[in-house]
Amino acid sequence: MSRSRVAERVSQIRGSGIREFFDIAERMEDVISLGVGEPDFVTPWSIREACIFALEKGYTSYTSNWGLLELREAISDSMYRETGVYYDPEDEILITTGVSEALDLALRAILNPGDEVILHEPSYVSYKPCTIFTGAIPVCVTTDMDDGFRLHADAVRAHLTEKTKALVLNYPNNPTGAIMRRKDLEEIADVANERDMIVISDEIYGELTYDGKHTPFSALNGMKDRTIVLNGFSKAYAMTGWRIGYAMGPRDLIGAMMKIHQYVMLCAPITAQMAAIEALRARTEMERMIEEYNRRRRLMLRGLKEIGLNCFEPCGAFYAFPSIKNTGLTSEEFARELLMTERVVVIPGSVFGECGEGFIRCAYAVSQYELKEAIARMGRFLDGLK
């Protein structure tokens, strides 16, 4: 009897739609990529220097499974200072290899096969596959451009069943750049309380807001005890390659995540953890990068308007998510033809969920010069469609 060598849960999932476009673009010349969700800045020098010093001093060992206590203390202090929410560095903060690992641990720590998890879409590409890998069932709630891609408590309520165990929140949002109003979050918190749900709040773009501050979900009344906050250094500190993230939450849940982490990962790299301590100390460079993203955001919005693409104003992260519905192309056709004719990479909205069809994601994590050139090329592409 022949049986599949690959587990069903894995074979049913497509590879990431984002990577496909990078693979094509890599073989082309003079390409401008608005595709990659990654800062174009190099990690600030003082952070790199801290890593070099760590190596020079011979820090090459494992750390505690929890991560360096000094880093956990620095995270705890920074969280308390910024939001007023206190996490005990001893056992309420776990250092992981990026938010990617923290997300996987959080889902695996709380879900049993058959449990349902509410996800809002369009959403970051990992939530659905990582939920399916646990044997749980993703339940997708659509958000809408006309409504600022915000999630409403009523929409969550409409998707609840006896099996609903958790909600994954991601604001500021990838791919839309949307942020939430405190009032909307408070209404969602009421639903979480009523239905005894766990909320996994991916706040990796929490520092990157341009119009109003981000409200951490765990800062809302009663939410600290039912929220796992995910955050990390990749985006705000331009440290994608260092692979440092962290989870903060109630000790029983963080303890369960730690159990998995100690067997599958052991610990995050020590030199990167030491660099992350410096990142929290020296925030001026980060603030400078945020100011530059804001300038690019305005440039992008103006440019999209000028070439005739309707775009909701993103207030966080570094993505714009314009509608391409007026072109009559699918988002995949649009992205492919734009790449082939004008050598600009954008990501089809459909990779972020069905309701992302009719949109494209443009990351403005490139220089203003490249951004202007990319918009000019997109304008020429749109003219060619007329």
Residue numbers at the binding site for ligand PLP (CB under 6 A): 37, 98-100, 124, 170, 174, 202, 204, 232, 234, 240, 245
Question: Residue written as tokens 């049993």?
Answer: 112
The helices-and-strands tally (H runs, E runs) of the chain is 13, 12
Report the nearest approach of ligand PLP to the CB of residue 237 (Å).
Answer: 11
CB 365 within 8 A of CB 318: yes
> For ligand PLP, which is the closer residue by CB, 178 or 223?
178
> For ligand PLP, which is the closer residue by CB, 98 or 327?
98
Q: Other C-beta atoms within 10 Å of 104: how many?
A: 23
CB 242 within 8 A of CB 43: yes
> For ligand PLP, which is the closer residue by CB, 131 or 234?
234
Report the nearest approach of ligand PLP to the CB of residue 120 (Å).
Answer: 12
> For ligand PLP, which is the closer residue by CB, 98 or 148?
98
CA pair distance 18, 174, nearest whole angstrom: 13
Report the nearest approach of ligand PLP to the CB of residue 204 (Å).
Answer: 5
> For ligand PLP, which is the closer residue by CB, 99 or 272?
99
CB 168 within 8 A of CB 196: no
Report the nearest approach of ligand PLP to the CB of residue 199 (Å).
Answer: 15
Q: Which residue is nearest to ligand PLP (CB)?
A: 98
> For ligand PLP, which is the closer residue by CB, 270 or 329?
270
Strand 245-248 to 227-232 pairing: antiparallel
> For ligand PLP, which is the closer residue by CB, 98 or 177?
98
Report the nearest approach of ligand PLP to the CB of residue 38 (Å).
Answer: 7
> For ligand PLP, which is the closer residue by CB, 319 or 381?
319
What strands, in cross-sheet order, belong to the sheet with 116-121? 93-96, 245-248, 227-232, 198-202, 164-169, 116-121, 137-142
CB 350 within 8 A of CB 17: yes
Report the nearest approach of ligand PLP to the CB of residue 345 (Å).
Answer: 15
| Local structure of residue 316 (DSSP, 8 states) | B
In whole angstroms, how far apart are CA 347 and each of 25, 321, 360? 12, 10, 6
Report the nearest approach of ligand PLP to the CB of residue 202 (Å).
Answer: 5
Report the nearest approach of ligand PLP to the CB of residue 277 (Å).
Answer: 17
> For ligand PLP, which is the closer residue by CB, 142 or 193?
142
Q: Other C-beta atoms within 10 Å of 378: how many?
A: 26
Tokens of 315: 């207030």
Task: Enumerate the H helices of the chain as residue ranges.
Answer: 8-11, 17-26, 45-56, 69-83, 98-110, 127-133, 153-158, 182-194, 251-264, 270-281, 284-306, 331-342, 368-385
Report the nearest approach of ligand PLP to the CB of residue 336 (Å).
Answer: 22
